[in-house]
Structure 1
């Protein structure tokens, strides 16, 4: 949690007027009671600002602006907070108040940090630190060191962060209030939690909690319970962890500090995912995402998107999972691009520093082995440029194979690569999955390898997030391992370097180069690979994200195809007779409309044959319905066989069929088709060894002669059919008006 320090009065008049003294008193009261209710404190600070401006009391105005800025910051109103901090800074500069300048700069740093603008935050913190040290303000120095440590922690540099926190704690003046000490102890505990040293983590968090509760610092108390929940989760005590996360949320809600609420919600959501409570996890994480977006906390809402993607993926909702994952990737790439830019800038700065140093060295040794030194320095210069070139080449590809081959081809020309490997770290199984394992120039398939924390160099590298540098295996392995080193495949290297591949706060894998000989690598090789490792991590992460997006897209495509097949099947079943496969009455009406429209345009006619089978019921009665169904199927096939491809046969009832004859010239064409239909219907059926006949009665109507609506024409054909049915049967009749 970010440390704030009491603004104070800066360069107040030696004998402030009574009204000014009252304003100072009210400003102090707002500051001390701010955590009880930020909204109420904001309202009071605005009133104080108005009074101070009314009487022209600039010291009180600056103090009120700082209080307003801090209230807005904790409420997540970032733009309003920025404006207030900048107004306070401008006033303190006009007043020539170094304490005030340091406080305002520190506030701007905190605001930038909360919005994940780390470079800007460090710039403000550096200016604040310079003011504090120049004027001997130990309390201000401690606050700023603590805040710089928080930036280091957010960037995953936990050991460096601990150094800043411990320095800050050592220089806190004895008279300082306990809030600052509690904040620093809390941050130390958070760092040990990240380093998985849970015993030390809980010890510092308990101390912070005790101090915060004694002074009713409720935001610190809420944050402490959240970290205690992380410790319980890390130790596998999930029930206790959930209780602590929920307690942290309740406490944070009481303070209305939205950043503390979001962090506790994210921790609870992750725990619920692990426990399989996906519905509740979704609700919790959606609330965290909404609140993060409202306060523009980029790092927090992209963390919420990542966990929401995992939740929906586990629920099988791949479309929503893909949408959240795309949001997460978009924001992560923004941060990665910032990280890449920062790394390139660091390399360029380092290059310029070393170039200047080398130029000075060349000048000093101009007459002492000048040629040898110049060649060496030129080689170092080429190496620094190579880092930038390789980094840009590998981060421009999303394909893992391309990344690996480009990296390997580049490295083997610069150092010994008897063995080169990149492995991805699976935190859940504590194992490595090799993306590439190249020994003696050959790619060798590797299975996942479990990590032995006592005997694995890779495990040490991942746990400590630090490189392993071995010049002589037998002489130096005890510096890293508690037992004999374990090698799973091939000839072991006698000298090697392992490097962690880290993105933000997360180690995603390791890279190693190894030699069969001792003393194959130097400090220069180590510096080169350490500078290159961030580029490799970004390239590997990009390829993993790309692969995951491809898999989600494939899954969505499969779901889409299945849905299309199901839709097609449903449409087919809705429009066709399930027994014969012929169009049903619904589809018949649609086809008739199209036939009538075509006939109108072409000037042709349409014949409609209403077919009713004769003597079909005795077949069912004698042989059963299954045999009757087979007869209906065969009748449908016979009807289709004697009609043209442009004609349509449909089944509209139990033993009733309708044939639609397109492009007919007159009755003669229809009559010819009717005789064919009668003939095939009258042909005998072989049923269980017996020859049986059924026959058919046909009624005929013609469009447009007998009408121009499909209902009327079907009625006409049906009426004509009944004329035959009730007289001779096994014949046909045209509709007669």
Structure 2
């Protein structure tokens, strides 16, 4: 691809993104999500994603727009354009997924994309993944987009380097865990949920998806500062983890929002009991630097397969159940899922 000159506005946008990345600190998952969102906007693409190469698979570790529903999805590295970009360490473009033999055509149809551009992400002198933009139209991208995506990929590569250079944890851990609480992040939550649902389908088991929303974090931040708010978040994360079994999973999926996967559950009543135990544990007294902080949370859940067999639908139902609990508590009545 020939070189093009980027105008000042685009370069200023990239500098602005670099500043935002610096504010993410060592939260590599946050950096990748930020860059995927900004890449879609800056390149006027319908979607964008960061895929990391993990063994013989490419895994969506951040996604925005058209690619958002694929967060946590695993695809075979061989036979995908992203895997080929990693193996060759080259920027690759697909103008029409229906005609390009290098792409996973079935996966492209599932996402609804026709064209894409992928740029390798480098760490320690080798490619570890790709930054990708996608469109539902053919011939959506050209040399200009490759230049912009190349600059953004450099920012991600630098963030990867700074996140892992002085850490005993590896790239995979930094990319899949929340930097503040050390819980899994949103991408890892989706990845694990996909795998647990597939396993449950094979074994005729049950899986519960929980949505946990902290109560009062903004008030703590406003009155005592973000150090107190961060301490409250970490304490809630610890209390959630203490209530789970080894095979269960907790993740921080948003600012004050947590997700939990319960595997091998018996029925709806047993899940409701676990939700109540979590609510009680989170609401126990807590002090930060000698001051009592009120902790609380609203918990809702959805059960697979009774509530549906679609992952996005289960997450949506758990979210709706959580809001029913929250609104019920505010109204002074008992809540349920």
TM-score (norm 2): 0.48
User: Which structure: greater helix fraction?
Assistant: 1
By relative contact order (CA 8 Å, sep 6+), the higher-ranking structure is 2
| Structure number with larger C-alpha Rg | 1
User: Which structure: greater strand fraction?
Assistant: 2
TM-score (norm 1): 0.22
